[in-house]
């Protein structure tokens, strides 16, 4: 009993420290002009999907990840196919401003999928995993603190923790973003009502493969184990949100 109480106390302390560190980092970036202003965020809360905006740094990470997986030649092809030739020689700035149309991010995902055909799903999942790794590198200080907090958590709590932190990080930099994390009998479900991967796209089956890869890599980073990540609902199919089920492999 004493050991269990000790772990609970350590977890609470670590979680509190991480929350304070996270808030301090975001506050610093806001004050330094690396994020969009609060009034800019608020103005876009109820816009139509066609008008959604996407974070520069996240677009940059996706492009870098595509280059890592597809190579320079493949990257140039899909950028041009997506109507993003301006990024061939000049990446988006590495800041948290909403400088990209979300439909452009969706078009980039679609271009990769069309380039590979049936193999596009697997390639986009690989790109999603690489995207998360780039995010870890970009936020090394924050992720180091998170890693320390994770060490005192049971594995199930680690999954919930990393999914919640992913959602919080995305919502902190863009007030248009609306994400929930819930625990169900089947596993954890991350629900994104504003998913950028499928923004203004239509499909007969789930298409947010990059998102699946990113979640998969995040959970593996947090737990050291492979989990099953599956998109069970998709906005491109007419659902109100994209829902991703995360469960242990049987």
**What tens digit of pLDDT does each residue of 165-196 get?**
999 999 999 989 999 999 999 999 999 999 99
How big is the CA angle at 135 (ends 50 and 60), to the nearest 5 degrees? Answer: 50
Q: Cβ contacts of residue 2 below 8 Å, gap of 6+?
A: none
Q: What are the residue ranges of helices labelled H in 82-154? A: 102-116, 120-138, 140-150
Q: How far is CA 178 from the centre of its chain?
A: 12
Contact 29, 96 (CB under 8 A): yes
70-127, pLDDT tens digit by residue? 999 999 999 999 999 999 999 999 999 999 999 999 999 999 999 999 999 999 999 9
pLDDT of residue 250: 66
Contact 67, 131 (CB under 8 A): no
Query: Position of tokens 């997986």?
Result: 69
Q: What is the CATH number of domain 2-248?
A: 3.90.1520.10
Structure-token pair, residue 60: 């940059």
């Amino acid at each position: 009993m004493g050991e269990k109480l000790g772990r609970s106390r350590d977890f609470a302390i670590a979680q509190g420290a991480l929350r304070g560190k996270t808030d301090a980092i975001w506050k610093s970036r806001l004050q330094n002009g690396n994020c969009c202003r609060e009034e800019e965020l608020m103005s876009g809360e109820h816009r139509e999907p066609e008008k959604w905006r996407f974070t520069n740094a996240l677009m940059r990470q996706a492009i870098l990840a595509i280059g890592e997986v597809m190579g320079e030649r493949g990257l140039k092809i899909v950028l041009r196919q997506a109507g993003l030739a301006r990024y061939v020689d000049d990446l988006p700035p590495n800041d948290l401003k909403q400088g990209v149309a979300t439909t452009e991010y969706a078009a980039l995902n679609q271009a990769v999928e069309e380039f590979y055909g049936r193999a596009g799903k697997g390639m986009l999942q690989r790109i999603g995993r690489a995207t998360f790794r780039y995010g870890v590198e970009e936020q090394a200080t924050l992720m180091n603190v998170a890693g320390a907090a994770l060490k005192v958590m049971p594995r199930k709590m680690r999954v919930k923790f990393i999914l919640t932190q992913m959602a919080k990080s995305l919502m902190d930099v863009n007030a248009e973003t609306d994400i929930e994390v819930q625990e169900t009998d089947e596993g954890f479900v991350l629900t994104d009502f504003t998913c950028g991967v499928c923004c203004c796209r239509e499909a007969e089956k789930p298409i947010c493969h990059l998102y699946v890869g990113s979640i998969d890599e995040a959970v593996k980073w947090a737990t050291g184990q492979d989990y099953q990540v599956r998109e069970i609902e998709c906005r491109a199919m007419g659902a109100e949100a994209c829902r991703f089920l995360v469960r242990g492999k049987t």
